[in-house]
Each structure stands twice: as structure tokens, then as C-alpha cells.
């Protein structure tokens, strides 16, 4: 599905959305009333300092003015890998975007990420993984790290990596692997109305508490994270 198709299916009653060099900004009316703030990265654009500051600004301008939920659409490259972006402190720009999204979510503006194409590494952390519920659209192809780079670092052949990927979701690219980890909460079908699927999610939003580790355990993708975090937390609480 193209971005235009996705937005048309999500918001059949109209929308105000711009896509300026891969930066999506806008809003759209919800069937249930109110408006949803939209932002995101399109066309597999790399997320650099210039893109991130516009996205965070769009959310901050909305806080205090609007009241609806927030949708983050993601079809990005990785973070922009360049001397200029790093010189200017890209880590702060990406963290700032994530912080703004997390703050909004914790303060009455529930956030949903819709991963409809590619994404990777720092770009995914600053967008989809900084939302309360990350939805994957069937056909999306995220890759935290791509296999050729992994082959280089691990000094294993692509064939060997692909063979290992069959038995574990822990490193291999793909939507279903991220779902098993607990990173992607649910997958939406592209064959039925996205507006219906969005309405169903908004009507039944999970609490703001981060349960991705428990989800990863339930789905068998991350068997230790939830238990280790809970044990450390319990022990640390006794330190009071």
C-alpha cells in the first residue's frame, strides 16, 4: 500500500496531511469524534537532524492546543548516517523526538505507531518504538540491523545467518520477528478498512504501562527480559 492509500483508508472522511521530502505532518478527523495528530517518515527517508526537529515541533505545537491521539507513520531508512548529522548531535535530536512522543503518551495523548514500510536502528527507536502501541501493516519490512552488515561484523556468511534466523527471531529482520519480541503489538491487514482497525484499537487502548517485555515472553521471543527486569526491580526496592 502506498502512503496515500493508507491515509485514505485510515481517514475516509478526509485529512490534512503533507509529505515534504519524506516528513509527514498533519491531522485528520476521527469517526468517533475529535482529531488525530499525524506525523511520520515516508518514502524510506533517513531520519536526520532536519527531519527530527520538524517532527518533534509538530507534536509540541499540538500539546495544549489539541486533545486527540497521535499516529506516527513509519517507512524510513535508518538514522541519517553523515558527518553533518553527527557533528550537530543527532543523538539529541532523535532522543528529543522520542521524549516528546513519550511525554505526550503519558499525558493524555495516546500514541500509536504504524510501521508500513521499512525502518531500522535509531530511526525506529525515535519513532515507532517510542509509541505506546506499535502496529505493523502486513508487508512492512523492518530490519533493526540488515543481514549484510551483520555478516560483516559476525564474520558469518549470509547463508549461515539465514539458516540461524530460521530457529530464532532474536536477530533476523522482519515484522514477525519484531512481533515475537513484543516490539510490534499487532499486525493489521491491508485487505480490510484501516479505519475500522484503528477505531477498534482506539476503543480498546492498552494502559500506558510498558508491557513489551511481558508480551515478548508470552510470544516466546524474549524469555528472560521480563523476569530479569522484575527481579532487579524487586531487589532494588528492598534497598530503600
Partner 1 sequence: MTAPLKDITPAERARSTSFYEASARTRLELLLDAGSFVELIGPEQREVSPHLKIFDLPEQFDDGIVVGHGRLSGSPVFVAAQEGRFMGGAFGEVHGAKLTGLLRAACQIGSIPVLILFDTGGVRLQEANAGELAIAEIMRAVMEARTAGVKVIGLIGGRSGCYGGGGLIAGCCSALAVSEQGRIAVSGPEVIETNRGVEEFDSRDRALVWRTMGGKHRRLLGVADVFADDNVQDFREAALELLGLAGPFGLDRLKAEQERLAGRLSRFGACADAVDVWTAEGVADAQAVPELPADQFVALANQIGRTSRDAR
Map the footprint of partner 1 across residues 3-62, applying CB under 8 A.
Answer: 49-50, 53, 56-57, 60
Of positions 1, 15, 43, 156, contacts partner 1 by CB under 8 A: 156
Stretch 163-182 residues interacting with partner 1 (CB under 8 A) = 164, 167-172, 177-178, 181-182
214 lies in the binding site for partner 1 (CB under 8 A) = no
Q: Where are the alpha helices (DSSP H) in 46-174?
A: 49-62, 83-87, 90-106, 121-126, 147-154, 158-165
Nearer to partner 1 (CB atom), residue 75 or residue 105: 105
Stretch 78-137 residues interacting with partner 1 (CB under 8 A) = 79, 81-96, 98-100, 102-103, 106-107, 121-122, 124-126, 129-130
Do the Cβ atoms of 40 and 73 come closer than 8 Å?
yes
183 lies in the binding site for partner 1 (CB under 8 A) = yes
Decide: helix, strand or coil at residue 81.
coil
207 lies in the binding site for partner 1 (CB under 8 A) = no
Nearer to partner 1 (CB atom), residue 73 or residue 98: 98
Beta-sheet pairing, 133-137 with 186-188? parallel
**Distance between CA atoms of 62 and 109, rounded to whole angstroms?**
10
User: Which are the contacts of 59, defined by CB distance < 8 A and separation ≥ 6?
Assistant: 37, 39, 70, 100, 101, 104
Amino acid at each position: 500500500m502506498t502512503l496515500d492509500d493508507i491515509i485514505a483508508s485510515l481517514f475516509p472522511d478526509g485529512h490534512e496531511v503533507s509529505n515534504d521530502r519524506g516528513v509527514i505532518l498533519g491531522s485528520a478527523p476521527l469517526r468517533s469524534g475529535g482529531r488525530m495528530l499525524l506525523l511520520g517518515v515516508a518514502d524510506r527517508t533517513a531520519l536526520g537532524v532536519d527531519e527530527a526537529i520538524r517532527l518533534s515541533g509538530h507534536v509540541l505545537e499540538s500539546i495544549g492546543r489539541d486533545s486527540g491521539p497521535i499516529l506516527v507513520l513509519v517507512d524510513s531508512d535508518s538514522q541519517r548516517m553523515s558527518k553533518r548529522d553527527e557533528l550537530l548531535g543527532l543523538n539529541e535530536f532523535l532522543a528529543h523526538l522520542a521524549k516528546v512522543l513519550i511525554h505526550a503518551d503519558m499525558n493524555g495523548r495516546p500514541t500509536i505507531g504504524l510501521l508500513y514500510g521499512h525502518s531500522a536502528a535509531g530511526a525506529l527507536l525515535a519513532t515507532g518504538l517510542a509509541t505506546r502501541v506499535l502496529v505493523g501493516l502486513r508487508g512492512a519490512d523492518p530490519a533493526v540491523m540488515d543481514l549484510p552488515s551483520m555478516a560483516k561484523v559476525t564474520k558469518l556468511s549470509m547463508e549461515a545467518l539465514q539458516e540461524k534466523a530460521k530457529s530464532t527471531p532474536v536477530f533476523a529482520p522482519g515484522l514477525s520477528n519484531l512481533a515475537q519480541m513484543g516490539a510490534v503489538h499487532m499486525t493489521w491487514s491491508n485487505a480490510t478498512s484501516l479505519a475500522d482497525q484503528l477505531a477498534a484499537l482506539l476503543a480498546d487502548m492498552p494502559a500506558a504501562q510498558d508491557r513489551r517485555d511481558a508480551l515478548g515472553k508470552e510470544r516466546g521471543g524474549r524469555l528472560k527480559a521480563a523476569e530479569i527486569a522484575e527481579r532487579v526491580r524487586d531487589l532494588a526496592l528492598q534497598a530503600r
